Amino acid sequence: MIRFTHTSKRYPSGFDALQNVSFHMPAGQMAFLTGHSGAGKSSLLKLIALLERSSRGQVLINGQNLAKISRRRIPYFRRNIGIIFQDHQLLFDRTVYDNVALPLIIAGYPRREIGKRVRAALDKVGLLGKERKYPITLSGGEQQRVGIARAVVNKPPLLLADEPTGNLDPELSRDIMHIFEEFSQVGVTVLVATHDLALIHTLPYRVLTLKGGQLVNDTDPSE
């Protein structure tokens, strides 16, 4: 599903965010991406979501070479990736329902189908019944779950999360990770960037460790 081949990212300022990174994640796998701040976690996720383009090497997502996707095609490409942000990126002037429905509206689903899917997604993250609330009235954990519901509502095969538990206490963090595990179990590929080592060491998933833009460790307890 995700394949990096000798991929490097150098910013115009001359900073090397990623250097010669190679790895492969098969479809349906769940993995953590870890490292200190500035190690390149966010850059790596940005390359996958085409928020940035690599300077050297190749990124293949689902067999598709990202270098060959034109600017005009990027929106269609992004619809196949659910992205979860540390700061949620919710629209605060819209209800929970409208926030979660946004990807479906963008993709042009009929209204009836939207209602069904939004409720299904909210049910999965345990927020059914809060459709009419505004995000500002929810707790941090609940806001993050709205973000997850929005990311999964159109059933993307790939889920990216950038520090999804950054502002949450350990118990809520575990809840969030549990939600990701559930998606992984139904075949969704999940890549979670986090520096919460205490949490990920309690979970039986692959860990990719970045340091100074290089992939320094790749452990998979299932192997």
Partner 1 sequence: MASGAPSRDIGLRRGPLTALRVYLLRHLQVLFYSLGVLSRSPFATLMTTAVIGIALALPSGLHVVLKNAQQLSGGWDGAAQISLFLKRTVQDDEASRLARQIQKLPEVANVSYISRREALQEFQRLSGFGDALEALKDNPLPSVLVIHPTPAASTPAATEKLLHRLKDYPPVDIAQLDMQWVKRLYVIMELVRRGVVVLAALLALAVLLVVGNTIRLAIQNRRDEIVVMKLIGGTDAFIRRPFLYTGFWYGLFGGVIAWLLVSLSLTILSDPVERLTGLYQSQFELSGLDAATTGILIGTSILLGLTGSWLAVGRHLRDIEPT
* Residue among 8, 58, 62, 214 that touches partner 1 (CB under 8 A): 62
Considering the rule CB under 8 A, would residue 150 count as an interface residue with partner 1?
yes
Binding to partner 1 (CB under 8 A): which residues in 85-114? Answer: 85, 89-91, 102-111
Considering the rule CB under 8 A, would residue 80 count as an interface residue with partner 1?
yes
Q: Tell the smallest beta-carbon distance from residue 201 to partner 1 (Å).
A: 30
Considering the rule CB under 8 A, would residue 211 count as an interface residue with partner 1?
no
Q: Tell the smallest beta-carbon distance from residue 193 to partner 1 (Å).
A: 16
Q: Are strands 56-61 and 2-10 parallel, antiparallel or unpaired?
A: antiparallel
Considering the rule CB under 8 A, would residue 183 count as an interface residue with partner 1?
no
Residues that bind partner 1 (CB under 8 A): 27, 49, 51, 62-64, 72, 75-80, 83, 85, 89-91, 102-111, 150-151, 154, 157
